[in-house]
Amino acid sequence: MPPPGMRIAGDTNVGKVRTTNEDSMIVEPARGLYVVLDGMGGANAGDIASQMARDTIRDYVIQRRLTMEPKALLESAILAASQAVYQSAQVHRERHGMGTTVVAALVVDAKHVIIGHVGDSRAYLLRGGRLQSLTRDHTIVEELVDRGLLSADEAERHPYKNVLSRNLGARPDTKVDLLELELKPGDRLLLCSDGLYGYAAAEGIQYLLGSGDEPQHVARDLIDLALRGGGGDNVTTIVIEAPPAVQTSTQVVRTSGAMAWWQKRQKFLIVAKDRGLPRNPIVRGLDPKEALDLVALSLCQAVFHDLEKSTGVNVWTFAQNLAGGWFDRGGEWSAVRGMMDILGTSARAVVDDIRGDDAQLGFLLDVAVSRALVVAELALGGLLAEKLRQVDTDLIELHTAQQVDPNQAIDTLPDEDTGGFVERATIPFLRPDRPVTSSGVSSEVVDSIAKTITIARARTAPRAELVKQVLSALETIATEGSTNFSTAVLAARELYGVRTIDDQGIMPLFDALDQARIIAAASLHQIQSTESNRAKVLSALSVAHQRLVGAMTGIVLEAVAPYSERLLQVQAVTTGLRDQVAEAEKRRAELERRFAGNIDASLPWGSRGTTEW
């Protein structure tokens, strides 16, 4: 069995171009042996070479695991595999020229691993969010770089950069590069064939390894990444995860929190039913149980999966499907708003129930579930922004038509001097004479909102100016209390200001929105008021926050639209380049068969012997 807490998984795929899988792998937790082999030779039995080497390494380790020192054991097993492949190629004429690469990991204990490799299959280490290669490819071009005959830039562009200089089977013996690695809590090792890194960007590999998903999902997702990149070769991955350190709050939410949430799903459905979900226009005509399963249980399940993976994609998809389908049928926004309010109340009831059983877990879930509900509001905000942009366009056309001289053709727009519109509006259309709806908010509620926001500002860090601005915006929107969206749009526009379209520009906005919501909710408990009045204040602030988030999302989506169009253009170019890579791969395989057995004797192997990590 693997050391306690260590998780391992592997997967392999034939790819999109090859008809046979010449990759092989070993995943033996009981013996701590993990190996990836990439056969070469095509019609000359590359698959036989990798399988023969695989079986030889496994048998060798099984027979000598308790009698040899780990480092010597792994090196001897790989050398035995090279001998076996070479001898088979000599005996069977049709197998002449076959060979295989190998990258292997022998886990000694929870903290120590031996890595051995020959060829261009690789081992990577993810530590502290940073991906680094543990192996160096044995290729002709790399050897020329070592000798100073090629620069690194020239090597990257060299047509023979993937032609091997070392493999198992080209000679009866070979040189094995070895290193000893000391694992740290949370480290992840990746063993892979060149079918992964040849078709997947290093950034993508790093992102998936660092996603926090279980190794079995990461191994599969890495293969999917290579397939989306063209899949021009067989691809094999093995992910080894070192035992973690003490669980973080995120890990607690992903494990205990997610399970506690799912176990309370009946509570979620009961509250949703009591709040009137089956009577909402969106589910009109459905049986009450069917309505609850279709909407409430779907959101409950989406939250569960997002808690498990620390993501928001499932909740985002739920909200877009719910509102998008309703809007496509001509449905009103008020029905969506009412449905989300019911679901939000149900979610808070579940969290309160969990908090009664476990205060600490309840606190962590409160934050996580609140974030999930904000994600849903962001998704709704995007859809609403699209509808608002269409309304803006219609209003602009009508407003312009009214200002055109009756003798002038209707389809001719006046210039700027006439006061008409000649370009698309930068903020949602607001006529200067548009009446303001009466707020309908009682003076007692308005006073309580002001006190709550005052306390919230006092509790905000001195340098958190953006959070204070959000609190002011929430107070303005909440005290208005009308169904007008204009106040939220203007507040969002002021908060957005001028920003770069990247994480440093956009994320502080949504972080501030999230922090302001939490601080405001906590400050509400400090004002002197009745429970009924507090509930009204909380409802007003919640609606204000939802409107502000929706408006902000619309502005951000509008800002990133040009970049999205550019990305689509780049993707089209990338598709053409992938086809060229597939052709180059066929040429590389032919060169490997010609050169792999003829380079060893003249290369300075001694300069790259056993290394210590």
Record the tokens describing residue 580, joined without a space: 């060229």
The pLDDT value recorded for residue 192 is 97
Q: Of 386, 270, 274, which Cα lies nearest the Cα of 333?
A: 386
Q: Tell me the per-residue pLDDT of 407-424, one tens digit each, with 9 for 90 and over.
A: 544 444 444 444 444 444
Same domain, 516 and 543: yes
Domain assignment present for 595: no
- CA–CA gap between residue 372 and residue 253 (Å, rounded): 13
Give the ranges where 22-94 is alpha helix by DSSP (H): 46-64, 70-91
Q: Tell me the per-residue pLDDT of 481-492, one tens digit each, with 9 for 90 and over.
A: 655 567 888 888
Same domain, 418 and 461: no
Mean pLDDT of 2-7: 85
Q: For residue 601, what is the DSSP state?
A: G
- CA–CA gap between residue 459 and residue 591 (Å, rounded): 68
| Residue position matching structure tokens 């006092």 | 458
Same domain, 419 and 524: no
Distances (CA, A) of 178 to 70, 113, 281, 479: 11, 11, 67, 69
Domain assignment present for 602: no
Residues ≥6 apart with Cβ < 8 Å to 81: 52, 53, 54, 56, 57, 60, 102, 168
Same domain, 360 and 467: no
Same domain, 65 and 197: yes
Mean pLDDT of 348-369: 91
Are the CB atoms for 200 and 185 separated by under 8 Å?
no
Q: Of 565, 566, 572, 516, which Cα lies nearest the Cα of 542?
A: 516
Same domain, 222 and 278: no
Same domain, 365 and 490: no
The three-state secondary structure class of 45 is coil
Same domain, 46 and 115: yes
- In one-letter notation, the amino acid at residue 434 is R
Domain assignment present for 597: no
Record the tokens describing residue 545, joined without a space: 């926050």
Q: Tell me the per-residue pLDDT of 327-351, one tens digit each, with 9 for 90 and over.
A: 888 888 889 999 999 999 999 999 9
User: Taking 80 as the threshold, does the pLDDT of residue 131 lie above it?
Assistant: yes
Record the tokens describing residue 544, joined without a space: 């204000």
Give the ranges where 481-604 is alpha helix by DSSP (H): 486-496, 503-524, 531-595
User: Taking 60 as the threshold, does the pLDDT of residue 315 lie above it?
Assistant: yes
Query: In terms of C-beta density within 10 A (0-12 exposed, 13-18 middle, 19 or more buried), how is residue 447 classed?
Result: middle
Total domains in the chain come to 3
Same domain, 266 and 309: yes
Same domain, 64 and 173: yes
The pLDDT value recorded for residue 261 is 95
pLDDT band at residue 85 using 50, 70 and 90 as cut-offs? very high
Question: Which range, 215-219, 282-286, 504-508, 547-551, has the best average confidence (pLDDT)?
Answer: 215-219
Same domain, 183 and 281: no
Edge-to-edge strand order for the sheet containing 122-127? Answer: 7-13, 235-241, 188-192, 122-127, 130-133
The pLDDT value recorded for residue 482 is 57
What average pLDDT does the structure give for the chain? 82
The pLDDT value recorded for residue 292 is 94
Whole-structure pTM value? 0.46
Question: Which range, 133-147, 344-358, 518-532, has the best average confidence (pLDDT)?
Answer: 344-358
Q: Tell me the per-residue pLDDT of 222-273, one tens digit each, with 9 for 90 and over.
A: 999 999 999 999 999 999 999 876 667 787 888 889 999 999 999 999 999 9
- CA–CA gap between residue 244 and residue 380 (Å, rounded): 37
Q: Which helix (H) or strand (E) holds 501?
A: none
Cross-strand pairs, 107:
113
pLDDT band at residue 542 using 50, 70 and 90 as cut-offs? confident
Are the CB atoms for 22 and 38 separated by under 8 Å?
yes
Mean pLDDT of 554-574: 71
C-beta atoms surrounding 196 within 10 Å: 27
Record the tokens describing residue 218, joined without a space: 């990461």
**Domain end marker among 199, 223, 246:** 246
Distances (CA, A) of 532 to 447, 541, 545, 605: 14, 14, 20, 80
More confident residue, 589 or 429: 589
Mean pLDDT of 67-95: 92
**Domain end marker among 430, 451, 474:** 430
- Which CATH number goes with the domain that contains 188? 3.60.40.10
The pLDDT value recorded for residue 421 is 41
More confident residue, 416 or 176: 176
The share of the chain scoring above pLDDT 90, in percent, equals 39
Q: What is the span of the domain harbouring residue 128?
A: 7-246
Are the CB atoms for 303 and 261 separated by under 8 Å?
yes
CA 378 to chain centre: 17
Cross-strand pairs, 8:
240
Domain assignment present for 208: yes
